[in-house]
Structure 1
Amino acid sequence: MVIGLIVSGGKGLRMGTEVPKQFLPVHGVPILVRTLMAFDEVDSLEALVLVLGRDFIEYFNGLGYTPAKPLYIVEAGEERFSSVRNGLEKAYELDPESAVLIHDGVRPLVSKKIIEDGIAYTRKYGAAACSVALKDTVKSVGKDGFSTGTLERNNYRLIQTPQCFFTKEILSGHKRIQEIDNQVTDDTAVYEAFYGSVYLYEGSYENLKVTTPEDLLLAEAILANREIESCK
């Protein structure tokens, strides 16, 4: 089984709105619903697990969105780390031999190709995550605020989601990390700590994480452009 694990347990405080950012509309559709729709359209995915804060489960159900694939809602933890683990526990319950694609609920513009590539590369390499090249020069900086050097940007990538693994491995990694109190915020780091390297495949600059009002405007523009391109 291949499972899409959508993590949406945050409160979205940086957006500065009363409604959590995952429920804000982008081009007329709530961000979280757009994210779920993107995964629901991938034929090789067989189930969706959605991690939500307890206070927002009823709100989500009130939106009236019902995907074609089975959807399992799991209560979020206090931190993203524990929220992911809760979702992984459910994925393991559904199928211990499953592959799981862990994705931010506020990345609604992920393409079908990125999701399908994640599945394919996980089957080939054991773990994979989409990423993009750095556009800007990256400087290291000292505590005094002065630059201390320039990094070779060709040696670095910006990691996005989905981050894709076999469920039993990444769940085991999460349990082991927690035992040594290493509260990492990225699931590839969990995998690397115990199993080895993660294959980084090509993502997209359009696969942005909607965190600020500026991100929301950019997402609106991207969707508007997609509509124009689809009509040509």
Structure 2
Amino acid sequence: MANLGIVIPAAGQGKRMGAGYNKQFLSLLGQPILAHTVRIFEESDFVSEIVIVGAEGDIAVIEEIVTQQRFKKVVAICIGGASRQDSVRAGVRALSSAIQRIVVHDGARPLLTLEVFHRFIEETKEYPAAVMGIPVKDTIKEIDSIGNILATLPRDSLRAVQTPQIFDREKLEEAHNRAASSGYCGTDDASLLEWMGYPVQMAEGMQGNLKITTPEDLLLAEMILENRQRADSRDGSSV
């Protein structure tokens, strides 16, 4: 099996959620959102190390979640930086030198399945960098600063990007270090490699792999998980 390291940035406070604290500590079917996310990789034979990156004031809560859930693959819980980019960079540094292939996954994406994750790992094993993406359903228009429409973009060539994203460690570290020294801020980790001119492969994503950002997202996530549990129960009872 692959020797993957997972970096989970979990420092965002999620102001749009309106909870008044880190949204990843909110309960999703009785467990913190973050616990659902970490468990995906805890249960994967592809993964040997997990690093969680959080805000300084959240470290104790994250440690408590890891202890309560008995996650064995979490090798570090480290303090993030001023931006997500800084946090991922800190998480990469916390992985052992044995890890040469790194996956970055949002702490607020708890609905990824092991089946889809393993498919992604297999499909992208020959690529130095790859991301998940799904086709864009809505018509996308480019506008200027005052709202005038400049162009209607062709949907066939557009993808909404998700995590996980996977990278060769050497290239990811190079991109982060170069961006930090240059003051460049990318929209995600893949954009840093694109900025440096490295090719990034797009792999098929997962429609249900939503990022929980608003209260409506949390309700939808609960519905998705409940439907999965019912389906699993039916499958188990038919064996």
Q: Which aligned pairs between 1:1-150 and structure 2 lie closer than 5 A?
A: 1-63=3-65, 64-91=68-95, 94-95=96-97, 98-150=100-152
In structure 2, how many angstroms separate the alpha carbons of the residues matched to 1:225 and 1:148?
A: 42
Shift of 1:8: 0.4
In structure 1, how many angstroms separate the alpha carbons of the residues matched to 2:99 and 2:78?
A: 20
SS in 2 for 1:229: helix
In structure 2, how many angstroms separate the alpha carbons of the residues matched to 1:27 and 1:67?
A: 19
Shift of 1:146: 3.2
Matched, 1:201 2:194: no
In structure 1, how many angstroms separate the alpha carbons of the residues matched to 2:196 and 2:233?
A: 48
Change (3 A) 1:168 1:70: same
SS in 2 for 1:38: helix
Q: Which amino acid aligns with 1:100?
A: I
Runs of 4 or more above 4 Å deviation: none
Map of 1:153 onto structure 2: 155
* Cα pair 2:143 2:149 within 8 Å, conserved: yes
In structure 2, how many angstroms separate the alpha carbons of the residues matched to 1:131 and 1:105?
A: 17
In structure 1, how many angstroms separate the alpha carbons of the residues matched to 2:224 and 2:76?
A: 30
Larger mean Cα displacement after TM superposition, 196-205 or 141-150: 141-150
Larger mean Cα displacement after TM superposition, 109-118 or 202-211: 109-118
TM-score (norm 2): 0.91
Where does structure 1 lack aligned partners over 5 or more consecutive residues? none
Q: After superposition, what is the alpha-carbon deviation per residue over 1:135-183, rounded to whole angstroms, capped at 9, x for unaligned?
A: 1111122333232321100011010001100112101110001111111
Identical aligned residues as a percent: 35
Give the total of aligned pairs: 230
Where does structure 2 lack aligned partners over 5 or more consecutive residues? 235-239
Q: After superposition, what is the alpha-carbon deviation per residue over 1:10-36, rounded to whole angstroms, capped at 9, x for unaligned?
A: 112221112310100111110000000
SS in 1 for 2:119: helix
**CA RMSD for the aligned pairs?**
1.5
In structure 2, how many angstroms separate the alpha carbons of the residues matched to 1:123 and 1:95?
A: 19
Shift of 1:96: 5.4
SS in 2 for 1:104: coil
SS in 2 for 1:73: strand
SS in 1 for 2:46: coil
TM-score (norm 1): 0.93
* Cα pair 2:141 2:149 within 8 Å, conserved: yes
* Cα pair 2:63 2:77 within 8 Å, conserved: no
Q: Which amino acid aligns with 2:48?
A: E
Q: Which aligned pairs between 1:181-192 and structure 2 lie closer than 5 A?
A: 181-192=183-194
In structure 2, how many angstroms separate the alpha carbons of the residues matched to 1:191 and 1:114?
A: 24
Q: Which amino acid aligns with 2:62?
A: F
Larger mean Cα displacement after TM superposition, 141-150 or 94-103: 141-150
